[in-house]
Homo-oligomer: A and B are copies of this chain.
Amino acid sequence: MLLTDRQVLILQVIVDDFIRTAQPVGSRSLSKKEEILFSSATIRNEMADLEELGFIEKTHTSSGRVPSEKGYRYYVDHLLLPQKLNRSEIQTVRSIFAEQIYELEKIVQKSARILSELTSYTSIVLGPTVNENKLKKLQIIPLNQDTAIAIIVTDTGHVENRTFHFPASVDPGDVEKMVNILNERLSGIPLVDLNTRIYKEVASILRQHIKSYDVLMGSLSETLSIPASEKVFFGGKTNMLNQPEFNDIDKIRNLMTMIEQEDGISQIIRKNPKGINVKIGRENNNSAMDDCSLITATYSIGDEQLGTIAVLGPTRMEYSRVISLLDFISADLSKVLTNLYQNK
């Protein structure tokens, strides 16, 4: 089932051409390309073979050929030439980090916007998994007799806040004491571990010093055990509407609805392992994305993987360019973030 060099060449040209024009590619128009040195009849024979092998398809009996998912897969796995970004693209990406920003989320959000502008596809960026961030400071601010806000600040400058209730009988002094103890003992602990740490190591100390220990800890622990919201940022949500393959209302409806309820897509993205990943069409296991490809790249601080940055486009996507861009942005992002947060 190995492809001959000529078949590979033809497949390559078909995919490139279709990506550019969104039109089925015929043997005659192929034979006119300068890199093709044989006749349309020969091409027809090769195309028939490629079709039998499942790399290309016809939209109807006498149409030109269109890459199949298998064809795209082969193209992505074997035929991709990494594309060099041009000066203006590099500059645009760098502008993400130009302003002096400290908040991780803002940087990530801006990345999503820039990425969608550069590709004219939809970009999706999963914010850092806040749960892994380390506690910088915990504060509790009473709002009235039985309500207070717990504010959790992480080492990445993320601020998470939650309102919680407790009996009015609790002594405000106790709360303050508790917060002090917690900060002393829990600074630097990942948010996800806070609760276990409290019970394992801090509980006994607290019990000694705090009168209304039971009640307070009940409320607080419940509050802390809510996982931090994983933020998802989008860029160019409506860009897909401009792709010629989405001139069908039903497809748009499905896709937009899928994008709008952020959970589904963010889970699909989160499944992808470290590095760059390409999922083509039905490989995404989501019927609304049957005509879409998703390219993901992870970013990190030091060795710790933080989040994922992704581009959603039609299967007829400019894989080469998008991969180069994602590669570049995720590397830059990791570099900047590592500088910012690594040694602190």
Contact = CB atoms under 8 A, between A and B. Distances in A.
A285 to B, nearest CB: 21
Given A136-B143, A139-B141, 18 more contacts: A102-B143, A141-B153, A147-B157, A149-B153, A149-B159, A151-B151, A151-B153, A151-B159, A237-B256, A238-B257, A241-B249, A241-B256, A241-B257, A242-B253, A247-B249, A249-B249, A249-B252, A252-B252
Contact of A101 (B153, B163, B241): B163
Q: How many copies does the complex hold?
A: 2
21 contacts: A102-B147, A102-B165, A103-B163, A139-B151, A143-B155, A144-B344, A147-B157, A149-B159, A151-B151, A151-B153, A157-B163, A159-B159, A237-B260, A238-B253, A238-B256, A238-B257, A241-B249, A241-B253, A242-B253, A252-B252, A256-B256
A325 to B, nearest CB: 22
Contacts of A249: 241, 247, 249, 252
Contacts of A165: 100, 102
Interface of A: 100-103, 136-137, 139, 141, 143-144, 147, 149, 151, 153, 155, 157, 159, 161, 163, 165, 237-238, 241-242, 247, 249, 252-253, 256-257, 260, 344
A238 to B, nearest CB: 5
A163 B104 CA distance: 10
Interface of A: prevailing SS: mixed
A161 B159 contact: yes
Contacts of A139: 139, 141, 151
Contacts of A260: 237-238
Highest count of chain B CB atoms <10 Å: which of A141, A247, A344: A141
10 smallest A-B Cβ distances: which pairs? A159-B161, A102-B163, A241-B253, A238-B256, A137-B141, A102-B147, A238-B257, A103-B163, A141-B153, A144-B344
Contacts of A242: 253
Contacts of A141: 136-137, 139, 153
